[in-house]
């Protein structure tokens, strides 16, 4: 009996993590694909837009140098009139001027015509053909002088270099046209030097070909520089376009956010009025029912129900107030009513307000205050709200029989600080940014039976930021939490130094303090001289 084969072990290969390309990588990839597509559709290996711009520069260069080229043609015709028949030199000069006029006319026509891919290819081929004809006409006259004496060779070399240099500079935006204009000239001159048969002629032929290579390389370098300039300008224009588009999107988003903020403020203002009106009735009637002002309830449980209704109404009213305060702070409409405030006095009052609540839970609150601290310049209501929010959170998350420390004193820079520290459950380090955000709650807050809206710490942080202070939250799980708020030294009101100059006397000087002359004048002064016009 055959035994079944063992079940093959299946090994699960680790799955490679998905690589999410960044926005910059996607943008660079898209740009490379676009550039490759443009080069494939272009006749010169560059973008079609660059082909048009390069031809524009070629035409503009030809037009700007038309007068110089005309002078060169006339001077060459006059010079060659001494080596050949004047009629032939005049005919060559006239023919070259006609070709030059045709090139100028076509350059002007190209600049007036709107750009398109088809017309760019047509004009590009036309300009190359004109430059080839231009170079062949130069060849006819440069190879004409007879003889191989040094003067003739020098003249031919000089004119060849001049023609090649001028043509390379004029056609640098179109390297093929530059090659078409210079290659016939240099090839004919090099061939004529090589046919001389002497060593010197061979050297001149090599120098001619070397000069052609040098100017061809120079034209290529100029073309590369021009192309790089065009690419840089295109990238700058694209970047400017993206920035303008991003600015437009940002402005539109800002307008939408402002509109939403206005709508939210109107909604909250309307809803605060609509909610507070019935809440006042709920709180008032539930307070009457809880206190049994008009007599005891027939059913005792109604009293506890009334107390629950009153407590729920108070909680809802506090929540509405917190939402309104936070919305005003975020909208920048919360104005500080600044005055001289004693930080120790505010903390003491808040301690007395919440002392009963802490005593019901068996929590001990310790006060550690530095004595003799001057007042600070700030909003008393905002300062009181900061202390109440921090102390309420500490009482809420401190277990039965826990301890809370309230500290107030000087900072190292000369400001004043307030510290609220408890030995509660604490906050995880990764949850600190969450609890400091609006409506953010940590895991301990969610598990707690006494939950809040998550607005106490954000409101306290925003209020202390409006005072120019700092808000620091330090916490460790199962150890406790400490919140430290500081007021800057600029808000501490230091006592003024005594005045150096003596003030006026509080009482008039006595008669015994006057000199003898003053006492005599006082005795002679009339008792009543009002309205008499007399002067003493």
Q: What confidence tens digit (pLDDT) does each residue in 407-423 have?
A: 999 999 889 999 999 99
Find out whether 344 and 372 touch, Cβ atoms under 8 Å: no
The tens digit of pLDDT for each residue in 458-488 reads: 888 888 998 999 999 998 888 889 999 999 9
pLDDT at 342: 92
* Contact present, 389 and 420 (Cβ < 8 Å): no
pLDDT tens digits, 353-407: 888 888 988 999 999 999 889 999 999 988 998 998 899 889 988 888 899 999 9
Reduced to 3 states (helix: H, G, I; strand: E, B; else coil), residue 503 is: coil
pLDDT band at residue 343 using 50, 70 and 90 as cut-offs:
very high
**Beta bridge partners of residue 474, listed in sequence order:** 482
- Tally Cβ neighbours within 10 Å of residue 128: 18
Give tens-digit pLDDT for 79-137. 877 777 788 888 888 888 998 899 889 888 888 888 777 878 888 888 888 888 888 88
How far apart (Å, rounded) are the C-alpha atoms in residues 36 and 486? 60
| pLDDT of 345 | 92
The secondary structure of 235-262, three-state, reads HHHHHHHHHHHHHHHHHHHHHHHHHHHH
Please indicate whether residue 505 or residue 20 has the higher confidence score (pLDDT): 505
CA distance 139 to 143: 6
Q: What is the pLDDT of residues 50-78, one digit of tens each?
A: 777 888 888 888 888 888 888 888 888 88
Answer yes or no: is pLDDT of 147 > 60.
Answer: no
DSSP bridge pairs for 341 = 376
Give the separation between CA 435 and CA 451, rounded to whole angstroms.
Answer: 13
Burial 435-454 (b: 16+ CB within 10 A, else e): bbebebbbebbeeeeeebbb
Model pLDDT, residue 527:
46
**Which pLDDT score, from 0 to 100, does residue 346 have?**
92
Q: Name the residue with higher pLDDT: 323 or 190.
A: 190
pLDDT in tens, 218-272: 888 888 887 788 777 877 887 888 888 888 888 898 888 888 877 776 776 677 6
Q: Where is average pLDDT lowest: 13-27, 176-190, 396-410?
A: 13-27
Burial 195-212 (b: 16+ CB within 10 A, else e): eeeeeebeebbebbbebb
Specify the 3-state DSSP secondary structure of 339.
Answer: strand
Q: How far apart are CA 287 and CA 310, in angstroms?
A: 6
Give the CA count within 13 Å in the CB-facing half-sphere of 277: 5
């Amino acid at each position: 009996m055959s035994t079944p084969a063992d079940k093959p072990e299946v090994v699960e290969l680790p799955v490679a993590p998905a690589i999410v390309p960044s926005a910059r990588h996607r943008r660079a990839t898209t740009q490379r694909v676009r550039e490759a597509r443009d080069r494939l559709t272009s006749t010169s290996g560059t973008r079609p837009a660059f082909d048009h711009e390069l031809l524009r520069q070629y035409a503009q260069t030809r037009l700007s140098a038309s007068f110089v080229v005309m002078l060169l043609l006339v001077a060459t015709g006059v010079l060659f009139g001494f080596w050949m028949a004047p009629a032939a030199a005049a005919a060559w000069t006239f023919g070259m001027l006609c070709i030059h006029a045709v090139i100028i006319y076509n350059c002007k026509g190209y600049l007036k015509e709107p750009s398109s891919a088809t017309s760019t290819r047509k004009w590009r081929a036309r300009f190359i053909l004109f430059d080839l004809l231009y170079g062949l006409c130069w060849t006819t006259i440069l190879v004409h002088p007879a003889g191989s004496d040094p003067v003739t060779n020098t003249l031919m070399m000089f004119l060849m270099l001049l023609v090649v240099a001028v043509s390379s500079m004029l056609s640098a935006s179109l390297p093929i046209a530059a090659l078409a204009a210079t290659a016939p000239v240099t090839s004919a001159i090099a061939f004529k030097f090589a046919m001389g048969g002497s060593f010197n002629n061979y050297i001149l032929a090599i120098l001619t070909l070397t000069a052609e290579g040098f100017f061809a390389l120079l034209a290529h370098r100029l073309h590369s520089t021009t192309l790089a300039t065009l690419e840089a300008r295109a990238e700058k224009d694209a970047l400017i376009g993206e920035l303008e588009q991003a600015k437009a999107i940002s402005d539109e988003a800002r307008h939408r956010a402002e509109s939403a903020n206005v709508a939210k403020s109107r909604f909250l203002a309307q809803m605060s009025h609509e909610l507070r009106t019935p809440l006042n009735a709920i709180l008032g009637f539930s307070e009457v029912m809880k206190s049994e002002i008009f007599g005891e309830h027939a059913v005792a449980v109604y009293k506890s129900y009334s107390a629950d209704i009153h407590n729920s109404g108070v909680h809802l009213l506090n929540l509405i107030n917190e939402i309104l305060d936070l919305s005003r702070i975020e909208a920048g409409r919360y104005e500080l009513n600044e005055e001289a405030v004693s930080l120790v006095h505010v903390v003491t009052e808040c301690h007395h307000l919440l002392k009963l609540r802490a005593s019901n839970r068996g929590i001990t609150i310790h006060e550690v205050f530095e004595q003799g601290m001057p007042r600070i310049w700030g909003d008393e209501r905002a300062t009181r709200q900061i202390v109440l929010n921090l102390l309420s959170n500490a009482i809420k998350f401190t277990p039965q029989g826990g301890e809370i420390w309230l500290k107030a004193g000087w900072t190292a820079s000369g400001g004043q600080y307030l510290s609220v520290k408890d030995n509660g459950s604490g906050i995880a380090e990764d949850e600190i940014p969450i609890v400091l955000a609006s409506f953010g709650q940590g895991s301990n807050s969610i598990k707690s039976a006494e939950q809040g809206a998550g607005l106490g710490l954000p409101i306290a942080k925003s209020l202390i930021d409006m005072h120019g202070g700092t808000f620091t939250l330090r916490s460790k799980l199962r150890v406790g939490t400490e919140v430290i708020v500081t007021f800057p030294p600029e808000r501490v009101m230091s006592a003024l130094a005594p005045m150096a100059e003596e003030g006026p006397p509080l009482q008039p000087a006595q008669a015994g303090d006057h000199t003898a002359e003053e006492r005599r004048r006082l005795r002679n002064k009339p008792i009543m001289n009002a309205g008499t016009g007399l002067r003493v």
